[in-house]
Amino acid sequence: MTKKQDNRETAEKLENVIRKHCRNVNPNSIPSFVDHILVCEQNAEYAAGVSRDLNNLNELRKLLCRASSILDGLSETTRRNLNYNIPRTEAEKPKAPKNSFDSLVRAIGAEKSLTANNGMVRARWEALKTLEAGVDETLGDKKISGKASTKRNYRAALVAGACRKIWREDLPDGKKPPKSIHADRFPPFRLFIEDIFDVLGIGCTAPSALDCLAALGGEENLILSVKYG
């Protein structure tokens, strides 16, 4: 099964769960509800302002900076040898020129730019610098304020928040879904959340997810910061 087929199957299962538990919602709104759930699931840590990769990104930045510095300091002889030995990417492999003088000239020019003046080494050095710049930009994202806690299930919390939004649409005007579930209170809402979790493979109970959501400030604060593609 391809990823696209898997995504479609997941969306269909989520739609079925919503239809089963939320019979008063507008059927035409169900696809957008599914999209909302999936966006929350896929951007959970970002919405909470945390990342589990902060340490790795800082380490990657140091390694990239060190690698580009070492590469920049190599002797000319070593650069030439390295330039000769670097494997080419598919984009760099010479392509058969079309039947025109201009395309032949362009192909020869592209080949010279890689072989002359250590073009292969220079291209790799530039790639390292651009990757380093991308890491800097990611680390500088002001929405990421800290390292993700291993004790919190951010996916569960954000998806539970999305479920509250959907459940609110299913209730009569003026009523709100519960912010917490303890013991066996609110079993229909609990079953709805946990059926959604089952589809997404989220190993968490509804009470724990809602408690985590509340500790993070509630879906009103978090879901507004989710990026929509």
Question: 202, 153 in Cβ contact below 8 A?
Answer: yes
Bridge partners, residue 32, by sequence: none
Looking at the fold, whether 122 and 74 belong to one and the same domain comes out as yes
Looking at the fold, whether 220 and 156 belong to one and the same domain comes out as yes
**What amino acid is encoded at 87 in this protein?**
P
Question: Considering its fold, how many domains does the chain have in total?
Answer: 2
Which domain, by its residues, includes 9? 3-52+148-225
**What amino acid is encoded at 37 in this protein?**
I
Looking at the fold, whether 132 and 65 belong to one and the same domain comes out as yes
| Cα 206 to Cα 182: distance, rounded to the nearest angstrom | 9
Question: 14, 199 in Cβ contact below 8 A?
Answer: yes
Looking at the fold, whether 24 and 44 belong to one and the same domain comes out as yes
| Cα 162 to Cα 160: distance, rounded to the nearest angstrom | 5
Looking at the fold, whether 135 and 157 belong to one and the same domain comes out as no
Looking at the fold, whether 41 and 153 belong to one and the same domain comes out as yes
| Cα 128 to Cα 71: distance, rounded to the nearest angstrom | 10
Q: Per residue of the chain (229 residues), give pLDDT as tens.
A: 566 667 889 999 999 999 999 988 889 999 999 999 999 999 888 888 788 788 888 899 999 999 988 988 889 888 888 888 888 777 655 565 555 555 544 544 444 444 556 778 888 888 889 999 999 988 887 677 677 787 889 999 999 999 988 988 877 655 666 666 654 566 888 999 999 999 999 999 999 999 999 888 887 766 544 443 3
The pLDDT value recorded for residue 160 is 93
Question: 31, 15 in Cβ contact below 8 A?
Answer: yes
Q: Report the 10 Å Cβ neighbour count for 81.
A: 14
Looking at the fold, whether 168 and 197 belong to one and the same domain comes out as yes
What are the angstrom distances between the C-alpha of 56 and each of 135, 147, 161? 10, 11, 29
Task: Specify the length of the chain in residues.
Answer: 229
